Amino acid sequence: MEVDRYERIWLIGSAVFILTAVGAIVASVVFHTAELPEPAGRIEPELVTQTAPFDEPGLHQRDDGTWELVYVAQAWAWDPVEVTIPAEARGEEIKILSTTRDVIHGLKITGTNVNVMVIPGQISEVDVTFDEAGRHTLVCHEYCG
């Protein structure tokens, strides 16, 4: 069967593009340790506001000196609405714990590595370090309403 010269060029180009894309995905998984996060725990969605640490959302310094930021998502809102990271926490790793009592939400903080799904009945956990002062917007990338 005879294949037209231009069709052969497009077929070869498409194959090279697909193999390059697959290679990039494999490289990101192998060399950058990209992985899907495991749930940090389970929680009854109806009891979120009564279960520690979600009964007191916000930034807290724990007894061992580490920092923990607790978020609770709900339709059209996050609790707390605004968080100020103190100067002494700058450069320190902050553990973000989040959950929701209603529907699936997405937690993305611009300018950081934070991008996680927040699912009812599940505790999502991610670590972040804020090295410099600045404003970081929390973006919910899932339609909840």
pLDDT in tens, 58-110: 999 999 989 999 999 998 889 999 999 888 888 899 999 999 999 999 999 98
What pLDDT, on the 0 to 100 scale, is given for residue 35?
Answer: 66
- Is the confidence at residue 34, as pLDDT, over 80? no
Contacts 24+ apart (CB under 8 A), 30-39: 37/116, 37/124, 37/125, 37/126, 39/119, 39/122, 39/123, 39/124
CA 64 to CA 8: how far, in whole Å?
64
What pLDDT, on the 0 to 100 scale, is given for residue 99?
Answer: 94
What pLDDT, on the 0 to 100 scale, is given for residue 58?
Answer: 94
Query: Residue 77's beta-bridge partner residues?
Result: 74
Prediction pTM value: 0.72
- Find the angle CA(118)-CA(23)-CA(35) to the nearest 5 degrees: 25
Confidence grade of residue 37 (pLDDT, cut at 50, 70, 90): low
Rounded to the nearest integer, the mean pLDDT of the chain is 89
CA 54 to CA 58: how far, in whole Å?
9
Count other C-beta atoms under 10 Å from residue 114's C-beta.
Answer: 19
Q: For residue 83, which phi and psi values (nearest 5 degrees)? A: -130, 135
CA 138 to CA 119: how far, in whole Å?
17
